[in-house]
Chain A
Amino acid sequence: MNSEGPGGARNESQDNGPREDQLDESTHRLHPAAMLIGALKTARQWVGVLVLPGGALLVNQGFSVRTIFLIIAGLIVVAALAAVWGFLSWRATSYVVSGGAFHLRQGVIQKSERTIPLDHVQSVDTVQGVVQRIFGVVEVRVETAGGGTNEPDASLSALSRAAAGTLRREIETSRHKPTDADGEESGPSVVRRLTTRDLLIAGATSGQIGIAVSLVAVVSQFFDDLFSNEFVERVVTTFAPRSVTAVLLLVVVAGLFAWLLAIGGTVLAHAGFTLARDGDYLYIRRGLLERREATIPLSRIQAVRVVEGILRQPFGLAALRVESAGYGEDAGVSTILFPLLPRQEVEGFLRAAAPEFAGEPSLERLPRRALRRYVFRAMLATIPLVFVVSAIAVIGLFSGFTAPGCGDAGCAAEDFSWLAFEIPAALLLVALLVFAALYGWLQYRDAGWAISDSRLFARSRLLSRATAIAPRRRLQSRSIVSSPFQRRLRLATLQARVASGGGGAEVRIVDLDAPAAGTLADRLGPDPAP
């Protein structure tokens, strides 16, 4: 059942594991709800397989009683087999923590026993899907360092809350020094909880509007296909006498819809976001329908990013992300540490949650001569747009496209009609370039760096302004890269890599003074110059 990845953390047959006979002593089974979850999963796969032949049958035979009977019979067989399979795989699955390792046995036909040494356990996360919520159980995922992929290293589909808590304690206490196993039973203390107000603000200011807009575009395309053209036209003409107004109206409505969608997405993902800390572990709990609980060991955090989105920066708000080794949640390489908090409270928050990253040193700016490279680069990025606008303008010019406001009969001032088209195009180009230049200037102004207490602080802007904080001992490599243009201006780019998820993440400072970049790279090395 399990594809065996090439993970170093797991060895199928480890010697210090429990013997066959001992295994029954303290092994645990999953909650019986696992049967249903397993059955549903299997049924879903089989239905997926059967859809094609079933569809073909329907098309061939039409809706006769026989085909419908066949299909219903097929579904019943699938359901029955899935139920049996769910039961068998529940019976075959058991786990135990013993001998300094987590053992998971599973597999109905192909039996497998997975052993994960507790030292290698990266995190014990719980996820509660909708089915799990109905039964009041949780899915527990055990991840190891270097797991990296989407698939957790071991997943227990249904445990009661109590069993999940016991398992987590068993894994974590044996990872701690044995002394604090029975010290003060303090438990995690909440560092910060996201209020409903902040949750809504986070949704309203999230940059996910872009994603939502494209979603709306797809939906509107769908509606285009659904409704006839006349209908749409009638609606549009009744609502707006002029087509320009109608288009504007549509854009506004679509934007509003996208915005609501973005808020909804944030609420779903981050409702009740709570960050708690217990010694060397951070616990994140979040989610409206699907409740997720995640553990991040402080020792695994490689870098923290303070991200001030364009919509958030004006209100002095920021989100916090962490780059964490072997812990790439979802497909991403970084995880949200906290979705929204005031910029001024970031330092205090970090001091409570992850003190290694707390600090607010004043940043060094880039040399003045870097400004023109920033502006130039920003303007370079607009080239495709400039190209498109000019192409439209040229086509308009040569095809004798009449300017808006000129009828088919032609304008009164026929000779100058093209001006009415060219001037807006030219203005648009100028506006585009000015905007790009301003953006480049903003990027230059926001770029900065500092080294404080053996940590690298690097701030840069890519739409949102982000400050990366990475301790020197977490840097996997430093590179200084310079293009011919940069060398002419004695500038260079510093790239520092930290581990994150499967691959790694990069902290960049573009267009540093070249000698300063060299010194910086040395100071971030294992043996810093005094």
Chain B
Amino acid sequence: MKDEPSERLDPRARTLWRIVGALNALPLLAAGAAGSWALLMFVDVSFFFGVLPALVAVALLLLMVVVAPTLRWRRWRYEIREDEVDLQRGILWIARTLVPLARIQHVDTRSGPLQRRFGLATVVFYTAAGANQIPELSAPVAARVRDRIAELTKDGLDV
């Protein structure tokens, strides 16, 4: 196995992921707060047990906003070699994926509204057995990666 892939995602990805994490954690936080409130108001439990749901929700929020994006960004790497695309990702479950360029059918870049605010884009490439993506590259880099994959794919599509 070759060394880990050389390129990282755009550093702004972390900020974006923190925002997305916070948005995703909002319902959790609300549920935790509601749970604590209900426990303290209606059930005769000690104060510690009463605030436990809220504390758990806050801990999850911190995990999703502070810890996970950092770890995720640190792990995420990619490289476009002359014959393969090499991806590495995952926080606990680490996945290393190799996709031969000759199998790639087409490449897209796409960016959501939030991504556009940060000037980020995702490169998605499709094989006959599904899609893979490289998320949160700065828009010009994403365009370059897309064109490079398309360029390299042109010769030697044999499936």
* Chain A residues proximal to chain B, CB less than 8 Å: 325, 473-484, 487, 497-500, 503-505, 515, 517-519, 521-522, 525-527
B95:A477 contact, CB within 8 angstroms? no
Query: How far does the alpha carbon of A473 sit from the alpha carbon of B156 in the complex, in Å?
Result: 12
Chain A residues positioned under 8 Å from B129 (CB to CB): 476-477, 497-500, 503-505
Chain A residues positioned under 8 Å from B132 (CB to CB): 477
Interface residues of B: mostly helix, strand, loop or mixed?
mixed
Chain B residues positioned under 8 Å from A503 (CB to CB): 129-130
- Stretch from B20-28, B96-104, B139-147 that touches the partner: B96-104
B84 within 8 A of A: yes
B94 within 8 A of A: yes
Known contacts A325-B159, A474-B159, A504-B128; decide if A482 and B2 are in contact (CB<8 Å).
Answer: no
Known contacts A499-B159, A500-B129, A503-B129; decide if A526 and B102 are in contact (CB<8 Å).
Answer: yes
13 further A-B contacts with Cβ under 8 Å, apart from A480-B96, A487-B94, A499-B128, are: A475-B100, A477-B97, A477-B99, A477-B103, A479-B95, A479-B98, A481-B90, A497-B129, A499-B159, A504-B129, A522-B2, A525-B100, A526-B102
CB distance from B90 to the nearest CB of A (A): 8
B92:A480 contact, CB within 8 angstroms? no
B44 within 8 A of A: no
B83 within 8 A of A: yes
**A-B contacts at CB below 8 angstroms, number:** 79
B92:A476 contact, CB within 8 angstroms? no
CB distance from A515 to the nearest CB of B (A): 8
Interface size, B (range)? 20 to 34
Please pick, from B83, B95, B102, the residue contacting A481 in the complex, using a CB distance under 8 A: B95
Closest-by-CB residue of A relative to B130 is A504
Known contacts A476-B99, A525-B98; decide if A483 and B92 are in contact (CB<8 Å).
Answer: yes
Most buried by B among A499, A515, A519: A499
CB distance from B155 to the nearest CB of A (A): 12
Interface residues of A: mostly helix, strand, loop or mixed?
mixed
Query: How far does the alpha carbon of A499 sit from the alpha carbon of B2 in the complex, in Å?
Result: 25
Leading 8 A-B pairs by shortest Cβ distance:
A504-B129, A518-B1, A499-B128, A476-B129, A476-B127, A497-B129, A479-B97, A477-B99
Query: How far does the alpha carbon of A484 sit from the alpha carbon of B92 in the complex, in Å?
Result: 6
B118-151: which have CB < 8 Å to A? 127-130, 132
Query: How far does the alpha carbon of A211 sit from the alpha carbon of B129 in the complex, in Å?
Result: 29
B93 within 8 A of A: yes
Query: How far does the alpha carbon of A473 sit from the alpha carbon of B98 in the complex, in Å?
Result: 13
Chain B residues positioned under 8 Å from A504 (CB to CB): 127-130
Please pick, from B1, B101, B103, B158, the residue contacting A521 in the complex, using a CB distance under 8 A: B1
B130:A526 contact, CB within 8 angstroms? no
Chain A residues positioned under 8 Å from B97 (CB to CB): 477-480
Q: List 16 A-B contacts (CB under 8 A).
A: A325-B159, A473-B159, A475-B100, A476-B100, A476-B127, A476-B129, A476-B159, A477-B99, A477-B127, A479-B97, A479-B98, A481-B94, A503-B130, A519-B1, A525-B100, A527-B83
